[in-house]
């Protein structure tokens, strides 16, 4: 039987949900309600804070980055290790978020999902070629599957991430085709992209993950039975 002392500490279901979805919730609130909440917060602080039309994205990105950092630090503190997916995503968020704010160009953050999904797809595909189970690393020990099952699951995720990358690239370019991305002008199509990113991709990802459940359940290895006493 596996030694309990050797098992990595895991976040509870609620804590894991907050780490994964908390920064996204901050982004949503800042983007959709920031214009109304900023003057209230400013009044409390004794300052005149206001968000002009078209500046919602900059506010949302500016709050999303520290929220993600808090989630990342909390995850590392509680689990005493660095989750690979959180680290890679955090680097992408930090770089593209900083470019968005410093250069005042929303294009960088629009491209974040494209770059992230492309990177995940490419790394997993490279792992298949090199006969390395990088998907196992991304799942961070949450699943115990035989090598053949990992390869099949990896192929599915390679295709899925590639489709999401293409979908995001088409979506943001289409929705913002008449917008000035290098300024703070209002962009009606931007809200459509935000809804797609926040709700559309999240729902599609949950559905895709759920569809893998029968395959995973069929090939799951029972660690208690496979480990010698």
pLDDT tens per residue across span 145-197: 888 999 999 999 999 999 999 999 999 999 988 887 766 667 778 999 999 99
pLDDT for residue 108 = 93
> In angstroms, what CA-CA distances link 97 with 61, 82, 107?
6, 21, 10
pLDDT for residue 20 = 85
Name the CA radius of gyration of the chain, rounded. Answer: 20
Instruction: Domain ranges for the chain, please list them.
Output: 4-226
pLDDT for residue 46 = 76
**Which of residues 1 and 130 earns the better pLDDT score?**
130
The encoded tokens of residue 219 equal: 């090939």
pLDDT tens per residue across span 20-29: 889 999 999 9
pLDDT tens per residue across span 194-212: 999 989 999 999 999 999 9
Q: What angle do CA 84, 89, 90 make, to 5 degrees?
A: 95
pLDDT for residue 185 = 67
Question: What count of other Cβ atoms lies within 10 Å of the Cβ of residue 80?
Answer: 8
Task: Choose the weakest-confidence range: 105-119, 146-160, 208-222.
Answer: 208-222
Q: Provide the whole-model pTM.
A: 0.84
The H-or-E segment that residue 79 falls in is helix 56-79
The encoded tokens of residue 79 equal: 């689990």
Q: What is the mean pLDDT of residues 109-118?
A: 95
pLDDT tens per residue across span 32-88: 998 888 888 878 877 777 787 888 899 999 999 999 999 999 989 988 888 888 888
Please say whether the beta carbons of 174 and 110 come within 8 A.
no
The C-alpha atoms of residue 191 and residue 163 are separated, in whole angstroms, by 21
Terminal-residue alpha carbon distance, the chain? 5
pLDDT tens per residue across span 58-69: 999 999 999 999
The C-alpha atoms of residue 117 and residue 158 are separated, in whole angstroms, by 9
The C-alpha atoms of residue 226 and residue 229 are separated, in whole angstroms, by 9
pLDDT for residue 178 = 80
pLDDT for residue 174 = 93
The C-alpha atoms of residue 36 and residue 144 are separated, in whole angstroms, by 47
Please say whether the beta carbons of 101 and 61 come within 8 A.
yes
């Amino acid at each position: 039987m596996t030694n309990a002392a050797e098992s990595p500490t895991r976040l509870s279901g609620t804590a894991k949900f907050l780490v994964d979805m908390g920064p996204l919730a901050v982004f949503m609130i800042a983007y959709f309600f920031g214009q109304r909440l900023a003057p209230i917060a400013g009044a409390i602080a004794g300052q005149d804070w206001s968000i002009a039309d078209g500046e919602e994205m900059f506010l949302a990105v500016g709050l999303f980055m520290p929220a993600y950092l808090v989630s990342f630090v909390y995850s590392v503190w509680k689990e005493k290790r660095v989750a690979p997916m959180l680290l890679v995503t955090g680097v992408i968020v930090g770089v593209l978020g900083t470019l968005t704010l410093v250069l005042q160009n929303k294009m960088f953050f629009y491209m974040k999902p494209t770059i992230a999904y492309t990177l995940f797809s490419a790394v997993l595909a490279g792992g298949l070629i090199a006969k390395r189970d990088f998907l196992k690393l991304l799942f961070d020990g949450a699943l115990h599957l035989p090598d053949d099952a990992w390869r099949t699951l990896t192929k599915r995720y390679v295709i899925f991430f590639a489709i999401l990358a293409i979908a995001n690239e088409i979506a943001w370019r289409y929705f913002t085709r008449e917008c000035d991305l290098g300024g703070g002008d209002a962009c009606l199509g931007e809200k459509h992209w935000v809804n797609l990113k926040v709700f559309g991709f999240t729902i599609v990802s949950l559905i895709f993950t759920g569809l893998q459940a029968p395959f995973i359940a069929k090939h799951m290895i029972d660690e208690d039975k496979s480990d010698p006493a």
